[in-house]
Amino acid sequence: MRLPRLSALLPAVATVVAMTAAVPPATAANPVTPGNITGYGFDQCVAPEQWKMDRWMERSPFLAVGIYISGRSRGCRTQPNLTPTWVSTQLKKGWRLLPITLGPQASCHPSFPRYGDDPTISPDPDSNYSRARSQGRGEASTAVQAASNLGIVEGSTLWYDLEGFDISNTRCRESSLRFLSAWTTRVRELGYVSGVYSSAASGIKMLDDARVNRPRAFALPDRIWIARWDGKANTSTSYIRSDGWLPGGRMKQYRGGHNETWGGVTINIDSNWLDLGRGSVAARESHCGGIQVNKRTYPRLSTYNDVEYPNHVKALKCLLKEKGFFDGATINGTYGPVLTRAVQAWQARYGYQRTTDWRPRNWQRLTAQGRWQTLKTGSAGSFVRKAQRSLNSMGHNLVVSGVYNAATRDAVTAYQRSTGMTVTGIAGTQVWDGLRRGVR
């Protein structure tokens, strides 16, 4: 690989420095988005109001949301809700964001330009479609600037929306290919991940044909977003080869514009299935220097059965230590006076009956205490592990994987049903409140 000259990199460096300075401090620590995920998403032209996002987080199956951040040809040039605060709030609440740019479209698309002042991709073949390539680089720089200003950090995927067009039109197709190749190159140069959305039968097929028939001729996107309205929540389509952008490089829009109502809130959306990166995976956790706190069961403990459950005693000491109640010098499997004092201090602190033993309901409350997040299909991480531990204290016998899988969803559903809660299969406010209070 030939390294570029320093002079060629200076404009990119200056752009990145300027964008970094523009990121508000409150959003600088935002996570990469969408990151690794397998689950449902939706996209809607105008970013919804916060109260609608909150209601849908609690009730809908969706965990990802598409937002139009730039592009002169987008249908929603005005985004009254889309601010750095909106972005950071959604990310903190667990939403994964899909930032979309809808700029110049294929020159043969009959519906563009949309407004008259929005250019289409130049079909001029002069100098290997140099104008189209210049447009692609420019659109990428603009998209990265918009993303950075919103607090969408480097490493996040930026999606270019290329609406369906006639790929049999040679200049239209070839100029679009060069445009997207330049977009991908520039997005990567600026530290982001390149994604392209298009119709399975046109833009996506075009990219896959280039991948197979003209390898190394173009910079192809890292991820593709397939528009194929077949109603199937997966990433498959017969329009491209089965090995393209797999594993972890596909998502599919499987249903077009329609109204859905969740929690009394109706939004007109497209529906998507995401399978990106490594899928929904949970990073490893470490507790108290290697104490294993994840158990399939959480039994009653006392001075009379610590020999039977030494590892559970260690888990209890560790969890109480993390909460500031156990101050023993070592964490061993003995249920002695120091642990008894810690147990009673914890019980007194939260207004529970003081006992010398530790009961399953105590496990339920302790493991669910602290910060929480609404969980659903696609969720992964420490909050999922907390919920799984708490559910296991009631006999659900889950593998504490940190991934909100079908077994976890079924356990939440059973818990909601048995306690008279609204049954959604989503661990939201009601579920966490019940777990923390020991409701069974």
CB neighbour class for 100 (10 Å; exposed up to 12, middle 13-18, buried from 19): buried
Side-chain-side CA neighbours of residue 224 (13 Å): 25
- Residue 20: pLDDT above 50? no
pLDDT at position 22 over 70: no
pLDDT of 18 strictly over 50: no
For the residues 214-219, what does the mean pLDDT come to?
Answer: 97
Whether the predicted pLDDT of 260 surpasses 80: yes
Q: What is the pLDDT of residue 140?
A: 98
Span 117-132, mean pLDDT?
97
0.75 cut: is pTM over it?
yes
- Dist. CA 308–CA 333, nearest whole Å: 10
Residue pair 172/108 in contact (Cβ under 8 Å)? The answer is: yes
CA 130 – CA 6 distance, rounded (Å) = 22
Cβ distance 193 to 158 under 8 Å?
yes
pLDDT tens digits, one per residue of 270-315: 999 999 999 999 999 999 999 999 999 999 999 999 999 999 999 9
**Does residue 231 register a pLDDT over 60?**
yes
* pLDDT for the residue 25: 53
Please report the pLDDT score of residue 7 as a whole number: 38
pLDDT-based confidence at residue 10 (cuts at 50, 70, 90): very low
47-57 pLDDT, tens digit per residue, is 999 999 999 99
With a cut of 50, say whether residue 155 has pLDDT above it.
yes
For residue range 80-92, list pLDDT tens digits in order. 999 999 999 999 9
Token look-up 């030494």 returns 310
Amino acid identity at 80: P
- Give 16's pLDDT tier (boundaries 50, 70, 90): very low
Mean pLDDT along residues 323-346: 96
pLDDT at 201 over 70: yes
Q: What is the pLDDT of residue 218?
A: 98
Q: Is the pLDDT of residue 154 over 60?
A: yes
Average pLDDT of 323-348? 96
Q: Write out pLDDT tens, residues 161-173.
A: 999 999 999 999 9
The pLDDT-based confidence of 24 (bands split at 50, 70, 90) is: low
Q: Residue 139: pLDDT above 60?
A: yes
B/e letters for 287-324, b = 16+ CB within 10 Å, e = fewer, are: bbeebebbbeebeebbeeebeebeebbbbbbbbbbeee
* Mean pLDDT computed over 97-121: 97
Instruction: Return the structure tokens found at 207.
Output: 């990219």
Dump pLDDT digits (tens) for 380-400.
Answer: 999 999 999 999 999 999 999
**Per the structure block, which two tokens stand in for 210?**
């280039």
Question: One-letter amino acid identity for 235?
Answer: T
Q: Rounded distance, CA 356 to CA 287, Å?
A: 24
The pLDDT tens digits of the residues spanning 177-199 come to 999 999 999 999 999 999 999 99
